[in-house]
A and B are shown apart, each in its own frame.
Chain A
Amino acid sequence: DAGVIQSPRHEVTEMGQEVTLRCKPISGHDYLFWYRQTMMRGLELLIYFNNNVPIDDSGMPEDRFSAKMPNASFSTLKIQPSEPRDSAVYFCASSLHETQYFGPGTRLLVL
């Protein structure tokens, strides 16, 4: 099992640019989660999907953030326009039952 796959692993961009993060969940899992981790705020849930349908997006900080899951094997998290305060590590996780399995994360730096 390849586990949860995220790309890119690192992203450096300039303020105002669009950023797209990608995630491939573990095959057969029906839940997908997007988290953001910073030193100040720890690990925060942004949004999660069940069977490709967004269930709870209350953690999405602003309208600049959007997430999609067009099929069971792919999801994107988009930030447009990006700001320096969006710099963080973004994790994708998937689950079949209660236990969530995390990907390696995307380290985003917005200059």
Chain B
Amino acid sequence: EDQVTQSPEALRLQEGESSSLNCSYTVSGLRGLFWYRQDPGKGPEFLFTLYSAGEEKEKERLKATLTKKESFLHITAPKPEDSATYLCAVQTSQGGKLIFGQGTELSVKP
């Protein structure tokens, strides 16, 4: 069964304290891995898509990496405005649907 697991469930950081979020996946065939950010009361906002092991993408203080079994979202010197829930999702080779993890709730304190 295709499965996505995110850890930790919640993460509290001080402003400027770098860390990483993990997304482990088990799928029959990976077409793409997606990272989204979700703020309270809003819909998920697209961040990155990764397609193959070794691929990396960056956006401001965020960098996403991909291996054959997991993806990491690295947050460098976070700011309070980075506080949100970060969702990971995979799209299998069968296409179409995304399978989401439960998310990591990130809180960055000033």
Contact = CB atoms under 8 A, between A and B. Distances in A.
A-side interface mostly: strand
A71 interface: no
A98 B91 contact: yes
A103 B101 contact: no
Contacts of B98: 33, 45, 100
B87 to A, nearest CB: 7
B96 interface: yes
Q: Interface size for chain B: under 10, 10 to 19, 20 to 34, or 35 or more residues?
A: 20 to 34
Contacts of A93: 43
Contact of A50 (B45, B46, B96, B103): B96
Interface residues of A, number: 21
Contacts of B72: none
B1 to A, nearest CB: 13
Interface string B17-58: 000000000000001101010000011111001000000000
Interface in A28-58: 31, 33, 42-45, 48, 50, 55-56
